[in-house]
Amino acid sequence: MIPYGHQNIDQTDIKEVIKVLRSDWLTQGPKVFEFEKALAEYCGVKYAVAVNNGTAALHLAYLAAGLKAGDEVITAPNTFAATSNMLLTAGAKPVFCDIRLDTYNIDEAKIEKLISGKTRVIAPVDFSGQPCALDQIKKIAKKYKLTVVEDACHALGAKYKNKKIGSLSDMTVFSFHPVKSITTGEGGAVLTNSKKYCEKLKLLRNHGMYKDKYNKNVMIALGHNYRLADIQAALGVSQLKRLDSFIKKRRQVVEWYKRELRDVKEIILPEEIKDNYSAWHIYVIRTVNLKERDRLAEYLKNKGVAVNFHYPAVYAQPYYRKNGYKAVKLENEEIYQASCLTLPCYAGLTEKQVKFISGLIKKYFKIYKNKLFENKESRGLIMGERVYLRKLTPADASNDYCAWLNDKEVNKYLETRKCTLAELKKYLKEKSSKIDCLLVGIFDKKNDSHIGNIKLEPIDRREKKAVYGILIGDKNYWGKGIGEEATKLIIAHAFKKLGLTSLELGVISQNKKAVKLYKKLKFKIKKIEKRAINHNGVFYDKIIMSIKK
């Protein structure tokens, strides 16, 4: 299995760690100070405070910024939950700002309108290793006297306008998890040019204590044990010496992907915009068709590629939904989280592996996709020559679907009323949970377009019969035999899979094309109910037709 990320450890790293294990200092020793000094020098900043993980670094930075209960912080939803979890831990409220669809970073143009009298901090996230628009963000922060705490856990080694990330914000947070630019096993750091912040960070890192002139511990604040061990720092010092080579290799991996995938129209490749030099912590593609993302992911996993999802929106997590964020929904973030897929990207990934992964993606869209519905993965789908049927869920509610129901031409022989998206979702939820109803969508096999619907309701399992109805909503498919093919599919499914022995339908007498089609499909007229249908004040006969197994 090719992992999505992996550390790069060599013999030098191992030797440096062994040296510390054989020394007198396993923690609170000289290696931590050496690591902090080297990190600060690399990033071109005055101070670096190393801690035991990136989450701890975020927590300390927020505390050092003076956050307290009731304060608000503007941040991005496209991040690991720790970014906002630590805000909650500090007592502050995350206010989520929508993202850009080129960098997937916070949209700096949407920040200012979210600022309130309670806003204290802006916490941008350098997603995937690509810096945010820091000049604009700092300008907004200066205007409103806010602190910028930059979550750069993805971005060690990145540059913004040729300046190293770590030197540009009031405080910058890094992570040294194994999949990051360098690793200390677990670890993190806060970088700053402020002596005041540095002193507060160091105090809170060590239980809120300092040593007095008698070398006694004096506690003056409620702090934490967020110290990094010398064992970890030794690995960090060694890794930092190879950071530039790691970034160079990651950027080479990205170039290989661009070369291999640039002509695949079904996916969107990530961009590196002007002024940015990305660390490429992760490489995230997006599927043009949202419905293809999960299928492609499953296919790649089955072929030995450990893809991932970075990230589901933080506000969409169950905990956040239950705690004040139920109504939050941001347009670009919704598009992104439904279509994103993380491909393997790390310094040790080879060109051969990139070609293999890219080849699988191309194979999926060119060949395998057309066969996808013919094997075991098609469970739950009813396959035809040009279309397939599948059960509808509330997730299938869309503006196009609403438009069908509100289109008088589509519903020429049906009652029409104004249908909203919320009503449609409620309807689909109700129908999908009923045991005496089967509501399926009709989908084009070529592009997964939702064409129309078929409904069996009620299904009488004792009498082994059901009432049938069909709607071809997309007018681009009218006159192409789609209704006939879909009807044949549902008849076969009802008789062979559901165990039914008869289907019945009602059709308005004026719809002569439908009556002709059903006769062609072996439906027989059972009876005619005179003036049974009131359509816009005009009464029509209802023709009841049925077909038996």
3-state secondary structure of 160: strand
Low-confidence spans in the chain with pLDDT less than 70? 367-380, 412-417, 535-536
C-beta of residue 443 within 8 angstroms of C-beta of residue 450: yes
C-beta of residue 538 within 8 angstroms of C-beta of residue 441: no
pLDDT tens string 182-214: 999 999 999 999 999 999 999 999 999 999 999
Q: What is the pLDDT of residue 415?
A: 52
For domain 380-548, the CATH class is alpha beta
Number of Cβ within a 10 Å radius of residue 526: 14
Strands 159-160 and 276-277: antiparallel
Architecture of domain 245-374: Alpha-Beta Complex (3.90)
Instruction: State yes or no: cis peptide before 312, omega within 30 of 0.
Output: no
C-alpha distances (whole Å) from 295 to each of 258, 269, 375 are: 22, 18, 13
3-state secondary structure of 376: helix
End-to-end CA distance of the chain: 49
Residue keyed to tokens 């739950």: 380
Query: Which residue blocks in 364-414 are alpha helix, DSSP H?
Result: 369-371, 399-405
Any idea where the domains of the chain sit in the sequence?
Answer: 11-242, 245-374, 380-548
C-beta of residue 456 within 8 angstroms of C-beta of residue 490: yes
pLDDT tens string 382-438: 888 899 999 888 888 888 888 888 887 777 666 545 788 888 888 998 888 888 899
Q: Does domain 11-242 have CATH number 2.60.40.10?
A: no
Helix axes 54-64, 195-205, angle to 10 degrees: 120
Q: What is the pLDDT of residue 373?
A: 43
Residue keyed to tokens 């409904």: 455
Q: How far apart are CA 508 and CA 531, in angstroms?
A: 10
Q: How far apart are CA 213 and CA 3, in angstroms?
A: 51
Residues 6+ apart with CB under 8 A from 528: 509, 541, 542, 543, 544
Beta-bridge partner residues of 94:
73
